[in-house]
Chains A and B, each alone.
Chain A
Amino acid sequence: MTLQTVLLLAAALFSIGLYGAISQQVVVMVMMGLELMINGLILAAAGFWWFLFPHPSGQVLLMVIIAAMTVEMAIGFAVATLLHRDHEADMTDMAGDLSE
């Protein structure tokens, strides 16, 4: 276990998540892709912390990432529910009015 291997794994997770976030049509699957990207971020941050600068403030950064993920998911779910209720939309392409 070295910094390089940890970062490689984090990069792999981030890229798989990116693929999903770009290619998936269903809102929930896009959110899964975003989650996977954040998964990679968490691992990379943890790796940097341990191998480069194991100071408590680094862990605080990890808590911020996790908190950001929570907010993203909660509001994402809420908006998805609202979209679904208002016009039966479950795909990103159907939610055109969000971009206007």
Chain B
Amino acid sequence: MPEAATSSLTLVPVGWVVLAGAIVLGLAWFAATVDGVATARAEASPTGLGRPLREVARLMRQRRRATVEADTPLWRIGSGGLVVIATLMVIVVPLGPWTVFDSPVGVVWFNAMDVCVWALVWLTGWGPNSAHGLVGGYRFLAHGLGYELPLMFALVAPPIAAHSLRVGDVAAAQHGLWFVVWMPIAFLVYLIGVLGFSVWGPFSAAVGSDIAGGVAAELSGLDRLLFLTGRYALLAAGAAFAVPMFLGGGAGPLLPGWLWVIVKTIVVLTALVLARRRLPVLRPDLFMEVGWLVLLPAALVQVLVVSVIAVWRG
């Protein structure tokens, strides 16, 4: 079946990556606001709308904490890199008809970027030469071993149905029936993976209060701001990527495609942010078995079902 190597999307110049970064930061701000409001409601304080602003102002003025024998370069790379990785994830997501990076292997690209989070979170824990930080880093890697393989296989399902690893083709292949409808398990496992690589909610053991903040224990000032922003940005990138993979991309009535992408992203992002208040933190050693004995077989069965349907439809 010969097909054109290029897709129907319009490739915009590389400079637009700045806009992609701005959208990621905007979504991260939104996520922080949602979390702030939810926290305020739980604490019965007046309103949480200003929380992100206050936190940013506080951290911008805070002095950097120094630790003995810190590995400063690696530490800075770790805490500052998360936002960069989130942006690199989001550039393969088509915003309606436009895309910055129309990679023929966009899905694998996203996967490669989310693996980079392993390195960055561990480095953030390693850098300050602090026991709590390193324990947090190990916890994250242990979680990673549990969620990464199911996540990979969940990401495999939509490209099989779409006959392409190009994100734009996957979005275009869902006209009429969104992939979330007939691959719900893959969607669920994918969302678990997003929570995992964002160190969020059930997977926040790496920054748990029982180890004094873990990976983030010694972070202060600008570094802490970048790290926290990076977590929200990763959630946002994960939510944005779910849209072309499972939620039909820019498809929808009335509104233009790019707006639908953003609306769907915001819905998924809000759900992910609020999941923190609904789900318990998973212990890494216990989750390992859940990941390998429950999530991985479930994702594999999902892939098998999708493959059979894809072959049957031809």
Tell whether any CB of A sits under 8 Å from a CB of B in the complex. Answer: no
Q: Which residues of A contact B (CB under 8 A)?
A: none
**Chain B residues engaging chain A, CB cutoff 8 angstroms:** none
